[in-house]
Structure 1
C-alpha cells in the first residue's frame, strides 16, 4: 500500500469538512461539497478512499468510465450496491436511466440522521459540451443533496475542466470548495524513501513525486540501483505510468503529442519545437501549444527583468514526464527486449545535463517558499533570465513582480554537481551576467549541491537548506 507521507494536511481538510456536516445534522442545508483536482496518478482516489475508510461513516465511491451514459449509470448502481449506505439497494432497484433520476434516487438513499460521504471520481468523463451534466448536478444539489448531511467529493484529473466546473457562469459555480492535490514534494519523497537531501531531490525529479512510482523505490536505495531495477521490469510504474497518463489525456497520434515529445526532448523555443515536431506550421503549432498549456502539461515562461521580452520558452511541467519523454519513452522497445542496460547507460551519460535543467524550477520554488530569511529579502516573483542567443543566462532572478519587474531583488546561479563546488570562476560569470541585466548591485546567490569555495557571495544554499522549504 502506498505510504501517505505528506497527506496529513489534505486528510485534515476533509475531516474538518465532515465535522462541519456532523455539527449541522438536522439543519436545513447541512451538505457540503469539495472539488478535488490534481494530475493523474498523484493519489487523489487513494487519498479520498483513505479518508472515507477512516471516517467511519457510510460512504459510496463511484468512478465514472466515460464509456457511455448508460454504462456509467449501470456502474453507479453497481457501486452503490457495493457501498455501505443504509439504503443502497434503492439505486439498483430503481435502475435510473438518466442523471436527473439517478441523483433523485441517490438523495433518497442517503441517511438524514448521520453524516455520509459520496465520491464521484473522474467527473470530467461525465461533463459534456452543452453542460447538461453540470446542470443536472446543480439542480440535484440545490434541490435534494445539500439537504442531506452528506459530503460530496468530486474528483478530476483534467485540471482545466475541474476549474471550469466551479467557474463563473457555469451551473455549479460556488457550490463547492476547491482543493488541489499535488505530487509529493522533495521533502516528502526524501522521508518516504529514507534519503539524504541531495538524493531526495534526485528521486523527486525522476519520480515526479508520484506516490505509485515512489512506492516502487526500495527504501534507502540510491538512484542508480532504483533505475537498474525499474528498467529491467517492463511493467514497472516508472515505465508505464507516463504512457497511461498520456493515453488518457490525448490520442497517441494527436499533434499535441508530437509537440509534447519535442518539448520533452529538450526543445524550448517555438522555432526549435516546430522543427523537432516534424515541421508543424505556425498556426497548428500554436494551437497544439495552447492545448498543452490549458491542460497544464506544459508551462510557458518569459525572462524576468525590468524590460519586456518575447523570448518565450516552454517546458514540461511534470519532471517525471519530462524524464520519461527524454530518457525512457523513446527507448521502450529496447527495454522490452531485455536491454534496459543500454537505456541505463544512456541515462548515466545524459544525467548531469538533464538534471541541471530539470532542477531549476524546483529550486526556484524552494527559494520562493523560504524567503525572506536573514540573507535575502522576499521575492514575490521568481524566475530566470535569458537572451535569444543565450550569451546571457541567469538561473535565478528574484523580483517584485513578473514578467516585467519594477525592482530586481537578487540574481543567482545554480551549480548542481556532486564533485564541483561553486567557485570563483562561477562567481565572475554571475557578476558579468548580472551587469548585462541591471546596473544595480543586487545581491548574488549561489545554489550548489557541493558547497561554495569562494568569497563574495551574498547567500549560499545547499540541498538541506532547500529541503527545509517543505516542512514535514
Structure 2
C-alpha cells in the first residue's frame, strides 16, 4: 500500500495506518477479529484526504457524517453508503435499520467486497456529528468489538474520525465504552514548516517563512488559495487577496469562527475570542489574561483549558528556571486574526484592505514574524538539527529559558535552549529583525554560557546557535568559522537549502 504522491508528509502516519490495517504481515487481514482505530485533528488538517486514500487503496467503505443532521436522515445516509459500496441500487424506503444492524452490515459488506488480500475497512468520518443524536453508538461498537474478539461477530477494521477533539478524546477516557479497545489513536497535527513549503511549492525560504507565519502547516488552506506568492514582492498582495478579504472563504475571522464552533464545549464564544486576543497581545498567565479581559483569575482557567485541549493555546515552561508556565497562541491563523484582522474588522468590511495591511506592518513584524521565527528555531533544533549536526539521539528537551545574573543584576532571556538533566546541550538566539546578527550576539551567548556554568550546569559540550532571518555580519561569520561549537542558521539553512 503506497502513499499517494498528492499527500505531502504524513509518512509516519501512513506507516502506522499500514500496521493497523495489515498487522505484522503474518496475521490474517481479511478475517481476524475487529480492530478499532481513531483519527482526530483540527479542521483542515487533511484527515479526510488521508482516510479516503486508505479506502481507495484497500477498497474500504468510507462514510461521511453531516453536522446537524437528524438521526433518521443520518441512518438513511449510512444505509445508502453501504448499498452503494455493495454495488446495489439504493432502494431504501421508510424507516432504515437500527444503528446496531447498520454497523454490522457495514463491516460485513466491506468484508464481502474487499479485494483479496485486503482487510475489510470501514471509515466513519466526522463521527461526533452522528453521535450527537445517537449517543449509544460507542456502546454498540463496544458490543460488536467484544463479540468479534469471541469469534461471534464481524471482523475487519473500523476507523472513527472527527474534528471535535474533546469528543474524540473522551471516547477512550475514563469509563467510556471504547476505553482500552482502540489499537490506533492517531492525532493528525499540522505539517512541519518544511513540509508546508513543499505543499505550497515555495522555493524562496523567506516567502515560505512568511506564509507559514500566517497559516501554518494546515493542508486544507492550500486548495482554497489558488494564488501562491512566489517572491517576497508578491506576499502583500497574497495576504490582502486572501486572509483579509471579507468575501473569501479563508477570511481569517470566518475561519476562526468555524474552528471554535467545532468544539461543543465552546458556547459563549465572545469569552474565548477575548482570551485568544489577550494571549496574542502578550498576556501569558491566567492572572494577566483575566486582568486583560476584565475577569477573575479563576473564571478564565476553564476556557483556557478548553482552548489548550483543542490545540489553539499551548503552555510551556522555562527550561532553566522551572517557574509557572507561559501561555501562547499556537495556531498561526488564530494569532493572525486576533492581531491583524480583529482590531480592524470594521475597516476591512468597508473594503479598506490595503490601508489596514500597511498600518498593521509593525505588528506583523514584531508580534507575528518575531515570535514565529523563535518557534521555528526551536523546531529546527528538535526536529532537524540532530541529523544535520550529527547528533542522532537529539539534544534533549528543547524550549526557551532565562538565567539570572546576580552580579550584573539582570535577567537574560534565552530564545532557544536544549537541556538533558544538568547538561546544557544548546543555547541560541533567534531574531527576525531587519538588522543582521553580529559579533555582540555571540558574545552575549558566551556570557550566558558562563552564567549557566557558574550555576553548576554542565556546558562543556554546549552548542552555541545564532538564528537570523536576515543573515549575519562578516565578523560574526569569521568568528563562527573558527569555532567548532558555534552554528549560524539563516532561513536557507532553516529550510534545509544550504
With the length of structure 2 as denominator, give the TM-score of the two structures. Answer: 0.80
Alpha-carbon distance in structure 1 between the residues aligned to 2:92 and 2:410:
63
1:16-415 aligned within 5 A = 17-19=20-22, 24=28, 27-29=31-33, 31-53=34-56, 55=57, 57-81=59-83, 83-86=84-87, 95-97=96-98, 99-112=99-112, 114=114, 115-126=119-130, 132-143=136-147, 147-148=153-154, 150-167=156-173, 169-172=175-178, 173-192=180-199, 193-215=201-223, 216=225, 218-222=227-231, 223-230=235-242, 231-232=244-245, 234-239=247-252, 240-249=254-263, 250-251=266-267, 253=269, 255-277=271-293, 279-305=294-320, 307-310=321-324, 312-354=325-367, 355-372=369-386, 374=389, 378-386=394-402, 391-400=411-420, 405-415=421-431
Deviations 1:187-232 (A, max 9, x none): 1222233332232122112111122323315245342231132134
Range that drifts further, 453-462 or 125-134: 125-134
In the TM superposition, residue 33 of structure 1 has moved relative to its aligned partner by: 3.1
Q: Conserved in 1, the CA contact under 8 Å of 2:190 and 2:218?
A: yes
Q: Tell me the secondary structure at the aligned position of residue 269 of structure 2.
A: coil
In the TM superposition, residue 335 of structure 1 has moved relative to its aligned partner by: 1.9
1:62 to 1:295, Cα distance in 2 relative to 1, 3 A: same
Alpha-carbon distance in structure 1 between the residues aligned to 2:215 and 2:6:
15
1:232 to 1:431, Cα distance in 2 relative to 1, 3 A: same
In the TM superposition, residue 104 of structure 1 has moved relative to its aligned partner by: 3.4
Q: Tell me the secondary structure at the aligned position of residue 171 of structure 1.
A: coil
Alpha-carbon distance in structure 1 between the residues aligned to 2:346 and 2:193:
31
1:325 to 1:217, Cα distance in 2 relative to 1, 3 A: farther
With the length of structure 1 as denominator, give the TM-score of the two structures. Answer: 0.84
Alpha-carbon distance in structure 1 between the residues aligned to 2:107 and 2:90:
13
1:399-438 aligned within 5 A = 399-400=419-420, 405-417=421-433, 419-438=434-453
In the TM superposition, residue 353 of structure 1 has moved relative to its aligned partner by: 0.5
Deviations 1:114-157 (A, max 9, x none): 34432212223455799743222111233259954533221122
In the TM superposition, residue 161 of structure 1 has moved relative to its aligned partner by: 3.4
Alpha-carbon distance in structure 1 between the residues aligned to 2:93 and 2:32:
28
Q: Conserved in 1, the CA contact under 8 Å of 2:256 and 2:334?
A: yes
In the alignment, structure 1 segments of 5+ residues that lack a partner are none
Alpha-carbon distance in structure 2 between the residues aligned to 1:91 and 1:178:
34
The aligned counterpart of 2:493 is 465
Q: Tell me the secondary structure at the aligned position of residue 470 of structure 2.
A: coil
Range that drifts further, 122-131 or 232-241: 122-131
Deviations 1:235-267 (A, max 9, x none): 242433222112222235353342123213332
| Aligned residue pairs, count | 456
Alpha-carbon distance in structure 2 between the residues aligned to 1:52 and 1:92:
28
Deviations 1:393-425 (A, max 9, x none): 11011101xxxx5332221100223x4221123
Runs of 4+ aligned structure 1 residues displaced above 6 Å come to 90-94, 128-131, 387-390
In the alignment, structure 2 segments of 5+ residues that lack a partner are none
Aligned Cα root-mean-square deviation (Å): 3.5
In the TM superposition, residue 323 of structure 1 has moved relative to its aligned partner by: 1.6
